């Protein structure tokens, strides 16, 4: 058993459940809570301690892995929430799909309670149910350096790479930027592949051309799109949420984002076609098949991605 304090994990969804399972395999005593009691029971069978409430699952180190700021605010500020249960010296780590403003708001409250807050994001290159239990994910984490260092063993046990930033809200903003970038690239790749197929050109030839000419960055983005059937990446509903958050922040700062605005409308079309639960590249590919009436199956790579395992975990300060 780890000598570190018991860990509380709140939120046992696509990322939270494998994260809690990872902690159990690394020898931590883990208390878990989720509204879905089936998930709680599943983790209890693996050795976790089932909690009956948020307050009961709040420990000296508590992690939340929830879909959005709505759920995080509820479990933190709600009656008998984390905020009401925090004691001086406790550490709260939010790895949820939280927006930057929510992270700032929570940091202020946590600091007033003389506790410590780290805001972070999970980056699982592949299906979270496979990569996270193996410790193959990356974590971007923001907060005071001494707080990060106090959690360094825990963070190394969770991820191969821990990328550290100075403020808790920064990983939230950067994750949204990643989603903005990947969303636009999925749409662009869908349009390029459709355009090529309409002329009778196999998009895989285009991929080979990019590799041969040294356009590795473009080849990597195209490969990401072509691997869309491997169940990798987040659902369209999640990327849509992040893109909408990007547009909300842009409005607050009076920043024009016409391309992201159009991308959001294309995502809306995908949601209207019932594609919200598909991973984002797969949803965009299916949408363009519906829009163009063309089969994009030639623009699919069925080969599994290669992943590096067994690397020594590292902490990187930016």
Provide the whole-model pTM: 0.91
Which architecture does CATH list for 7-168? 3-Layer(aba) Sandwich (3.40)
- What pLDDT, in 10s, does the model give residues 140-182? 999 999 999 999 999 999 999 999 999 999 999 999 999 999 9
**What's the average model confidence in pLDDT over 21-30?**
95
Mean pLDDT, the chain, integer: 93
Largest CA distance in the chain: 66
Q: Is the Cβ–Cβ distance between 125 and 136 less than 8 Å?
A: yes
Structure tokens at 278: 């598909």
Contact in structure between 106 and 117 (CB atoms under 8 Å): yes
**Cβ-based neighbours of 131, under 8 Å, separated by 6 or more:** 124, 125, 137, 307
Asked whether this chain's domains 7-168 and 173-299 adopt the same fold, the reply is no
C-alpha closest to that of 22 among 96, 126, 123, 128: 128
Q: Which two three-digit tokens encode residue 45?
A: 């069978």
Q: What are phi and psi of 162, to 5 degrees?
A: -120, 110
Residue 75: predicted pLDDT: 97
In this structure, what DSSP letter does residue 66 have? -
Under 8 Å between Cβ of 154 and 4: yes
Per-residue pLDDT tens over the stretch 219-266: 999 999 999 998 777 899 999 999 999 999 999 999 999 999 999 999
Task: Name the percent of the chain lying above pLDDT 70.
Answer: 96
- The contacts found for 192-201 with CB under 8 angstroms, 24 or more apart, are 192/222, 193/225, 193/285, 193/288, 193/296, 193/298, 193/299, 194/288, 194/292, 194/294, 194/296, 197/294, 197/295, 197/296, 197/298, 197/299, 198/292, 198/294
34 band by pLDDT with thresholds 50, 70 and 90: very high
Q: Answer whether residue 306 shows pLDDT above 90.
A: no
- CA 192 from chain centre, in angstroms, equals 27
Question: Tokens representing 29?
Answer: 């005593």
Q: What is the mean pLDDT of residues 68-96?
A: 96
Tell me the torsion sign for CA atoms 296, 124, 41, 39: negative
What does the pLDDT read at residue 130? 81
How much is the pLDDT for 305? 63
pLDDT exceeds 70 at position 308:
no
Backbone angles phi, psi at 144, to 5 degrees: -60, 140
Write out the E strands in the chain: 7-10, 30-33, 49-50, 61-64, 91-94, 116-123, 138-142, 161-165, 314-317
Q: Is 31 helix (H, G, I), strand (E, B) or coil?
A: strand
CATH architecture of 173-299: Orthogonal Bundle (1.10)
pLDDT at 312: 83
- Give the pairing type, strands 30-33 and 61-64: unpaired
CB 125 within 8 A of CB 131: yes
What does the pLDDT read at residue 297? 96
Q: How confident is the model at residue 116 (pLDDT cuts 50, 70, 90)?
A: very high
pLDDT at site 146? 97
Structure-derived torsion over alpha carbons of residues 240, 36, 70, 138, reported in degrees to the nearest 10: -60
* Nearest-angstrom CA–CA distance, 181 and 179: 5
Position 307 confidence tier, pLDDT thresholds 50, 70, 90? low
pLDDT at 129: 73
pLDDT at position 212: 96
Provide the pLDDT for residue 1: 41
pLDDT tens readout for residues 196-222: 999 999 999 999 999 999 899 999 999
pLDDT tens-digit readout, 43-80: 999 999 999 999 999 999 999 999 999 999 999 999 99
Please report, for the chain, the start and end positions of each structural domain, with discontinuous segments joined by +: 7-168, 173-299
CA atoms within 13 Å, Cβ hemisphere of 76: 26
Spell 40-54 as b/e; 16+ CB within 10 A means b: bebbeeeebbbbeeb
The more confident residue out of 305 and 37 is 37
DSSP state of 279: B
User: How far, in Å, CA of 204 to CA of 217, rounded?
Assistant: 16
3-state secondary structure of 121: strand
Distance CA 64, CA 71 (A): 10
């Amino acid at each position: 058993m780890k000598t570190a304090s018991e860990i509380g994990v709140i939120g046992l969804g696509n990322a939270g459940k494998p994260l809690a399972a990872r902690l159990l395999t690394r020898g931590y005593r883990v208390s878990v809570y989720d509204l879905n009691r089936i998930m709680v029971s599943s983790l209890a069978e693996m050795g976790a301690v089932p909690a009956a409430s948020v307050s009961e699952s709040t420990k000296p180190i508590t992690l939340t892995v929830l879909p959005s700021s709505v759920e995080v605010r509820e479990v933190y500020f709600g009656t008998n929430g984390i905020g009401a249960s925090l004691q001086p010296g406790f550490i709260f780590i939010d790895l949820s799909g939280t927006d930057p403003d929510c992270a700032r708001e929570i940091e202020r409250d946590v600091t007033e309670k003389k506790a410590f807050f780290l805001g972070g994001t999970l980056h699982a290159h592949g299906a979270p149910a496979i990569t996270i239990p193996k410790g193959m994910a990356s974590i971007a984490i923001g907060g005071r350096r001494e707080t990060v260092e106090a959690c360094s063993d825990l963070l190394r046990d969770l991820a191969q790479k821990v990328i550290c930033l100075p403020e808790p809200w920064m990983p939230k903003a950067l994750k949204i930027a990643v989603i903005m970038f990947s969303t636009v690239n999925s749409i662009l790749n869908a349009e390029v592949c459709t355009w090529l197929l309409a002329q009778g050109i196999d998009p895989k030839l285009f991929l080979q051309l990019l590799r041969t000419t040294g356009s590795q960055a473009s080849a990597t983005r195209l490969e990401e799109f072509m691997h869309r059937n491997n169940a990798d990446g987040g659902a369209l509903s999640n990327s849509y949420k992040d893109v909408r958050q990007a547009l909300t922040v842009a409005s607050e700062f009076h920043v024009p984002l016409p391309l992201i605005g159009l991308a959001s409308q294309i995502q809306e079309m995908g949601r209207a076609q019932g594609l919200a639960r598909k991973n984002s590249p797969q949803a965009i590919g299916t949408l363009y098949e519906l829009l163009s009436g063309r089969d994009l199956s030639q623009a699919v790579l069925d080969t599994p991605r290669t992943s590096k395992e067994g690397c020594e975990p590292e902490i990187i300060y930016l």
